[in-house]
Every structure is written in structure tokens, then in C-alpha cells.
Chain A
């Protein structure tokens, strides 16, 4: 359960959101520039709001009134961005192992193998980021984010470089794994098909304001009709 009430500024852009994510899988849907990435960065603790609070399962992560902000890396929160941001001087396995420093070496290796297997990147373990395609890099970035066993997984259009069928298969495996491991996920996307495909709770964001929150079929009814119209299905 994620509770948030945020008022944040980035240059001239202002984001004001107050809501509760109760679902295991929430999609933040909105056009480019709506504030999706800003919201995810605030949740991850990378940016500071002017005012507000964030609580995950009752644990306060940010509370501006008392100057509290749990730093990134201590919030049990992982973020996977569109840009994989793999460490270029480390191979894929070392990238995945980066957040597992506290684990004994044997456990760490097993965890790395497990995560790479989950995202279908076992054969990429010894490859350097510059030798990976965009889709492969996104898979490794996802494995790296999942490895430290977060309680909250934030996804910022993380499968944009993975082709349709492979993306669907990966999303299916990921959702199953998240359910089994009790990890709440919040995914930002501007693609209505992504939002509709996951049967998620959808938060509709426009110009930094929350305009709707509810089941995908309700919140995205207009988008759904538009997509069906383009396919010639009434």
C-alpha cells in the first residue's frame, strides 16, 4: 500500500498529486510531459518535493513537515527507467550484483543467476553494456533492480526497446514473480495498450494533476475506444 501527497516543482512545471495505490500493479498513464517520470523520481527519493509525504506499507519514506526523507537505496524501492543506465565498466552480472553487496558471495552469485534467468538474460552475464542491444540492456537493468528484493518496483517505460511479443512474455513473468514475492509495482507509460494489457489500477495524469484513478477499463475507456476505432472494431 502506497500513500502519497506531493507538491513538487521542476523548473516551471508543477506536480500536485494526492492518492493511495492499493493495487499490486498500478499504471501511471499520461502524455509526455504530464509528470510521470517526476512522480516516479519523487517516489524513489531521487528528487525532493516542496511539500508532502510518501508512505509505503505504513513506513514513512518522505515527510517534509518534519524534514524526513529516507535516502534512495534505503527505501526498499527500485526504479527501472527507459534509459537502462547500466554501469559501462561492469559486465551484466556485475551490474546485477551491484546492489547485493551485503549478501555472501555464494548467495550473491545465485541471486544474480536467478534474476538474469527471470528476465531471459542468462546468456548475457559476461557481456559488457556496450555489447548489448537496447532491449537486452533493459532486461539486465530490470534484473539489477529486482535483485535487492525491493518492496516497491517503479518502472518508467522500461520495455520500450523490447519488441511486442517478447515484452508481453517478460511482463507476464515479471507480474507473476512480483505477486509471488509480494512486491508492489508502479509503471509509468504513455502507451494505452500497456496500461490496458495489465488489468491494472490506472492513475491518469495530465499536466501534473491527477485526473482519474481506477480500473483500466474505466479510466482508459476513451483510449480503448480510440484504439479499437483505429483497428476498425466498433
Chain B
């Protein structure tokens, strides 16, 4: 069992999920509450990684973040090292790759909140930030939970983007999915069985823990005080 890859996968999924929430909540709120035709283009852009083959996305990011583009050279000059083939690069790739899995549930959840409640909050002086934090997020907490679960598990299981953008560097970019691929390539099916079982258990456990918390929260919820 490659514990280093296990810890790296968990770290990558946790960091990616945290960043995705910070990005996806305001983005989903903008898509639901905003006006204008450009929002359709923005939503299409946010959904693109869902339909784009992971290897294609990984390749684009590899080129974008590499020395061939001014952007890549700028990032390298800023950080002192290239983003490609580093953990930070993997985080960037994972955030983009899993973005639709965070945004879509939130858009669905926010859109299901009664517009009369949104109007009431606006009439009482709530600005966009308060509207999101005090009305949309609490009323769409199941969608928020779905966004967290999907983002986390999607990142844990990603392979194409990781391989293209990160390669296979132990301790930096070698995740459990890469380990599994290596084991199969080396015909070490016994080890591959164990790695696959761990990935499966991780997925089931994450779902069970998060949904059980959601269930207890829903059944035990009470009105908040003034």
C-alpha cells in the first residue's frame, strides 16, 4: 500500500474541494440571481470541463502553464517554479476539472429557493453576499453537501488530468489513481486489488459519513434565534 499516494490524494481532494466551494458558491449565485445573456456563456464555460475529455483538458493546461505561453512563463517567474508537474499545478487542474461538479448542484439548489424569499431578503436590505450566506446557502444545504461530495470524490478518482499535468512524481503528483495504473501496467493485480479497494472504500465512506451528517442535521434542525 502506497501511503504517500493515499495521503497525497486526500490532501489534493481536500484542498481542491475547499477552493471549489469558495469559487462555486458565488459563481452559482451569480448564475441564478444575475441578469444578462453573457451568463449563459459563463455557465457553458463552467460546464465545459464536464464534457471535455480529461486528457484534452490536461494537455491544454500543460501547454498553458508551461514555458510555451506568456501566462506559463509569468506564473513560473512569480512562483519561482513551473506549475506543471507540481502539487500546486495538480490543484489548479483539479479545480478546473471538478468545477462543474461543484457548480451544477449549487445552481440547481439555489434555483429551487422560492424567489419570494429572495425578494423578501432584498427588500429587507440584504446585499448579494448576505443573500447568499443567510438565505441561499442555508436553504440549499443539501445541494451544498452534494457539491462537496461530488467535488471531493471526483478529485480522488481523477486520472487523465493528473497524468497529463502532473506526471508520476512520488510525493508530489503520484495519486492513488496513478499508483493503480502503475500496478496494472506491471501486472501486479494483487496490489491493484488493494488500491482499487481503498479507492472504493474511500468513496463509500465519504458518502456515508457526509450523508449521515446531513440526515442527522435535517432531522434535528431547529429554528435559529434572533
Contact = CB atoms under 8 A, between A and B. Distances in A.
A97 B125 CA distance: 12
A73 B223 CA distance: 24
Interface residues of A, number: 36
A132 to B, nearest CB: 11
11 contacts: A71-B122, A72-B122, A73-B122, A86-B120, A87-B120, A88-B139, A89-B223, A90-B223, A126-B223, A128-B222, A148-B125
A36 interface: no
Interface residues of B, number: 23
A231 to B, nearest CB: 36
A74 B126 CA distance: 10
Given A74-B125, A85-B114, A148-B125, A127 B119 contact: no
A119 interface: no
Interface stretch (A12-20, A76-84, A215-223): A76-84
A98 B127 CA distance: 12
B190 interface: no
Interface string B133-174: 011001100000000000000000000000000000000000
B40 to A, nearest CB: 20
B51 interface: no
B121 A98 contact: yes
Given A72-B119, A85-B114, A88-B139, A128 B124 contact: no
A87 B114 CA distance: 10
A72 B117 contact: no
Given A87-B135, A91-B226, A93-B226, A46 B119 contact: yes
Given A73-B125, A101-B125, A85 B226 contact: no
Interface in A105-153: 108-109, 112, 125-128, 144-145, 148
Contacts of A148: 124-125
B225 interface: yes
A85 B125 CA distance: 15
B41 interface: no
A145 B123 CA distance: 9
B116 interface: yes
B224 interface: yes
B122 A46 contact: yes
Contacts of A71: 122
A44 B224 CA distance: 28
A81 B116 contact: yes
Contacts of B121: 87, 98
Contacts of A83: 116
Nearest to A48: B35
Contacts of A77: 123
A127 B223 contact: yes
Contacts of A96: 226
Interface in A1-47: 44, 46
Nearest to B138: A89
Given A46-B122, A74-B125, A98-B124, A89 B139 contact: yes
Contacts of B119: 46, 72, 79, 85
A88 B138 CA distance: 10
Residue among B121, B138, B223 with the most chain A CB within 10 A? B223
Interface in B82-120: 114, 116-117, 119-120
Interface in B43-86: none
Given A81-B116, A83-B116, A85-B117, A91 B223 contact: yes
Contacts of B126: 73, 98
B223 A144 contact: no
Nearest to B141: A89
A46 B123 contact: yes
A73 B139 CA distance: 21
Nearest to A131: B223
A52 interface: no
